[in-house]
Amino acid sequence: MDQKAFHHALKIQKDHCIGCSHCMNICPTEAIRVRNGKAELFENRCIDCGECFRVCPVGAIIIEQDDFNKIFQYKYRVAILSAVLIGQFPEDVKTSQVYNSLMDLGFTDIYEAEHGVDVLKESLQEYALKNENKKPLISSFCPAVIRLIQVRFPALVDNIVLKHPPLDIAAIYYKQKLIDQGVDESDIGIFYITPCAAKIAAVKSPVSEDKSPITGVINMDFIFNKAYTSIKRGDYNSCTECKRERLSPEATVWSLTNGEADNMNGRCLAIDGVHNVMEFLEKVENEEVKDVDFLELRACDESCAGGVLTTTNRFLTVERLKKRAEYFKETEYSYENEPKSILRYSEYLEDCMVINKIKPRSMMKLDINMAEAMKKMRRVKEIMKCLPDVDCGACGAPNCQALAEDIVQEQAVINHCIFIQKIFEKKGIIDWEQSHEIMKNIWGEEKLNRKC
């Protein structure tokens, strides 16, 4: 069955790339190769985790966002932000100052995504009870993890909770709230201020939906720098009125590691960092881990506080948000006396909360045809017997296994391996000039023409 292509927020600027291979070596899904001295992205493998963005020493990898001026196409410009944005600011900056500075940037409404938690958490418990046969249930919160499972662990897609994350719930609610107030839907723009690339990709090409409730996405580092500069200068309009509802203590830390798992029943584990997640999912796939009811899996260290588009140290962000949650806990309003407006839409949101069945992408398989895939797998094993198994990366692939797979997919040849080249030279199969040409095609002429 044909599937829509993944949208990728991560882009490689070839003019800036120096072909250093840092990105190739860090990529958890082996989605990057080096060709002609430049990094190349295998888009069908990329999960937009942003690890390559973190390690690029020259800023050749960027994360595309929507043009900020796009917000002015709408009469009602709603900023949906993560509590993590509030946690970016020093403790002497008030939440009201952040809200006011965002209003001055052009937004008409501001709403924190974690408000969706208050509707979601009970629904998650009910879902868990109805799906006890699918243990461990896997959170649908992190889009990078969802894509990782689709691509690398397709056998586990049925374990993913089929519920929208708080972000989508908050966006669906706020749009409907404005519509119920008489606002024309075409006048409403919902813009998410994102801490990571994967959520941009999830908005542009939702995993199991035709369309996201989010209109556009703006990078958190861009907004933080704009807002914090305005606050430090004191040139924002402090009289700007922006109605805001405080988050529940649970919702305040939902985006952090253990924020979700702490609210689920049974044996629940929270794992952050994409490489840690991969290691654990391999154990789950191999049935080495049993009796786990729920997995909260996040691609970034310290979850969204460690997103690639955050600015502040992630541990300071976590500390601030935990203090904020504790403050809310100590001064908590009675929901019976002051019900949150989103709770009035619980019945409506319950119907909107369900997402369609998530399908495996299986982009890392060798062939669609099972018989052909088996032949190629045997061929990979034969090639691996010839390769040195040192994973040096000199071939432009991250390891020998990846090179062998590239060879059977006709994306590389065996003499890309530097060791095979030397063997071929010794046997007279190729000469020095041919060997030099091979390396030039991988690493570029500049690296091979340096004066020593």
Could you give all domains of the chain from N- to C-terminal order, each with its CATH number? 10-63 (3.30.70.20), 68-130+162-255+305-352 (3.40.50), 370-448 (no CATH)
pLDDT computed for residue 140 by the predictor? 96
The confidence score (pLDDT) of residue 238 equals 60
**CB proximity list for 170: less than 8 A, separation 6 or greater:** 80, 111, 112, 113, 114, 115, 116, 342
Q: Say what the pLDDT of residue 381 is.
A: 95
pTM above the 0.85 mark?
yes
Residue 351: burial class (beta carbons within 10 Å; 0-12, 13-18, 19+): exposed
Residues with Cβ within 8 Å of residue 310, at least 6 apart in sequence: 84, 88, 195, 220, 221, 224, 304, 317
Neighbours of 277 (CB within 10 A): 24
Separation CA 136–CA 4 (nearest Å):
28
Residue 234 has a CB neighbour count (10 Å cut-off) of: 8
First to last CA, the chain: 54
Alpha helices, H only, 58-215: 83-88, 95-105, 117-130, 143-152, 166-180, 197-204
Q: Given this model, what pLDDT does residue 336 score? A: 42
Q: Which two tokens stand for residue 97?
A: 């100052």
Q: How far is 141 from 121, CA to CA, in rounded Å? A: 12
pLDDT in the model for residue 258:
97
Using CA atoms, how far residue 104 sits from 89, 107, 110, in Å, is: 17, 7, 12
Q: What is the pLDDT of residue 240?
A: 56
287 C-beta neighbours (distance < 10 Å), count: 7
pLDDT tens digits, the chain, 452 residues: what are they?
A: 345 567 899 999 999 999 999 999 999 999 999 999 999 999 889 999 999 999 999 999 999 999 999 999 999 999 999 999 999 999 999 999 999 999 999 999 999 999 999 999 999 999 999 998 889 999 999 999 999 999 999 999 999 999 999 999 999 999 999 999 999 999 999 999 999 999 999 999 888 778 899 999 999 999 999 999 999 988 766 655 566 788 999 999 999 999 999 999 999 999 999 999 999 999 999 999 989 999 999 999 999 999 999 999 999 999 999 999 999 888 865 444 455 789 999 999 998 999 999 988 866 677 778 888 899 999 999 999 999 999 999 999 999 999 999 999 999 999 999 999 999 999 999 998 999 999 999 999 888 877 76
For tokens 């990979």, name the residue. 380
User: What is d(CA 114, CA 384) in angstroms, rounded to the nearest whole number?
Assistant: 48
- Whether residue 162 contacts residue 357, with contact meaning beta carbons closer than 8 Å, is answered with yes
Residue whose C-alpha is closest to residue 309's, from 91, 84, 30: 84
Whether 11 contacts 64, CB under 8 Å: yes
